[in-house]
Amino acid sequence: MAVLCEQVNLAGYTTLRLGGPARRFVEATTDDELISAVRKAGGDGENVLVLGGGSNLVVADEGFPGTVVHVATRGVTVTAGPAGARRVLVRAQAGEQWEPFVARCVDEGLAGVECLSGIPGRLGATPIQNVGAYGQDVSDAIAEVRVYDRERGEVVTLDRDACRFTYRGSAFKGSDRHLVLEVTFALEPADLSAPIRYAELARSLGVEPGERVPLKDAREAVLALRRGKGMVLDPADPDTRSAGSFFTNPVLDADQVTDLEKRVSERLGPDAVFPRYPEAGGRMKTSAAWLIDKAGFTKGYTRGPVRISAKHTLALTNPGGARTADLIGLAREIRDGVRAAFGVTLVNEPVFVGVRL
């Protein structure tokens, strides 16, 4: 039976350790409990917040004036793919912890999510944000997502195309219509990783981009890189008390690229160049971390009780004693500083609840 409590402090359910109380808090351990809790709260006219691991969440100091439904479902099954397919299907409940799930896949010789090692949070959140790291996006491996469609009042299964995945986005992001219940991954039984796409990871492994390496080597290299950036949760390391990358990498059209070239040259000199990664439609992705650093917000930059991580420019951290308002103040300062320096407006990656930039 789902457990219902009142006035539960949400700071303890987020990796930032920030946020005020939820008026009501329900922990659901089965799909039926999850659907019932969301349906009941909606029927009562309550605001509903579906909470996973809280690793990509910024909650207001005032808390949430509605019902928080905490996803605590569990279960993973592995089945053969369609006849003749080289992949197996791995179905996992939304409440599964993501990092142990990746570790299990690697241990069982299933390739496709190994470069997503060390990412905190629950599995059900990964398709919403189209979580990605080190050249791998979760959408690369997703076959389908089973959801409760709150608009239609029924459980439906969406294939990969219907999920409409984009860079750090999907059909689920920015909408409360779909409640993720289960995700099915199509993974390759293999001793080797998927081709290594990310240059930094390739260098750490001593291979060229496009090569494959033993699965466990890929995972360990990713974990080492993430630890070096404070991106693997560690209670002893205050730099990991964050929501991961706070800003997404900007994707620019041709006119924006031209403007950025001009601004970079004026600010940093005619020989200065900025990171460029080609995207579909002739667009170009650049590095938010690079823009932040070159705008003067370096690692360890402090504003009151909050700071940029000493290990990674993209992580905003709560070393202790901060409020959400402090964090948002720092985020605004960075956003405005980057816009003034380079004409690019950074967009937050975490989900905001009761706050805005």
pLDDT at 271: 94
Do the first three CATH levels of 3-71 and 238-353 match, i.e. the same topology? no
The answer to whether the beta carbons of residues 51 and 71 sit under 8 Å apart is yes
Contacts of 213 (CB under 8 A, 6+ apart): 192, 193, 196, 205, 207, 221
What mean pLDDT is predicted for residues 47-54?
94
38-47 long-range CB contacts below 8 Å, 24 or more apart?
A: 38/69, 38/148, 38/150, 38/179, 39/150, 39/153, 41/66, 41/67, 41/69, 42/150
Supply the residues annotated as catalytic. 168, 245, 349
Chain-wide mean pLDDT for the chain? 95
- DSSP state letters, 172-217: TTT-SSEEEEEEEEEEEE-SBPSPP--HHHHHHHT--TT---BHHH
Higher pLDDT, 138 or 281: 138
Torsion angle, CA of 209/212/216/218, rounded to 10 degrees? 10
Task: Select from 71, 24, 28 the least CA-distant residue to 48.
Answer: 24
pLDDT(197) > 80: yes
CATH number of 3-71: 3.30.43.10
Helix, strand, or coil here: 155? Answer: strand
Q: Round to whole Å and give the CA distance between 335 and 329.
A: 10
Exposed, middle or buried by CB within 10 Å (0-12, 13-18, 19+), for 221? buried
The CATH T-level fold of domain 76-228 is 3.30.465
Instruction: Write out pLDDT tens, residues 207-227.
Output: 999 999 999 999 999 999 999
**How many Cα atoms sit within 13 Å of 310 on the Cβ side?**
4
Instruction: Write out pLDDT tens, residues 96-136.
Output: 999 999 999 999 999 999 999 999 999 999 999 999 999 99
pLDDT at 356: 95
Per-residue confidence band for 169, with pLDDT thresholds at 50, 70 and 90: very high
pLDDT(180) > 70: yes
Q: How many residues does the chain have?
A: 357
Which of these ranges, 14-18, 23-27, 39-43, has the smallest mean pLDDT? 39-43
What are the domain boundaries of the chain?
A: 3-71, 76-228, 238-353
The CATH T-level fold of domain 238-353 is 3.90.78
pLDDT(80) > 80: yes
pTM: 0.89
Helix 254-268 to helix 324-342 angle (10° resolution) is 90
pLDDT at 41: 86
Per-residue confidence band for 84, with pLDDT thresholds at 50, 70 and 90: low
φ/ψ of residue 57, rounded to 5: -135, 135
Give the DSSP letter of residue 31. H
Taking residue 107's Cβ as centre, other Cβ atoms within 10 Å add up to: 11
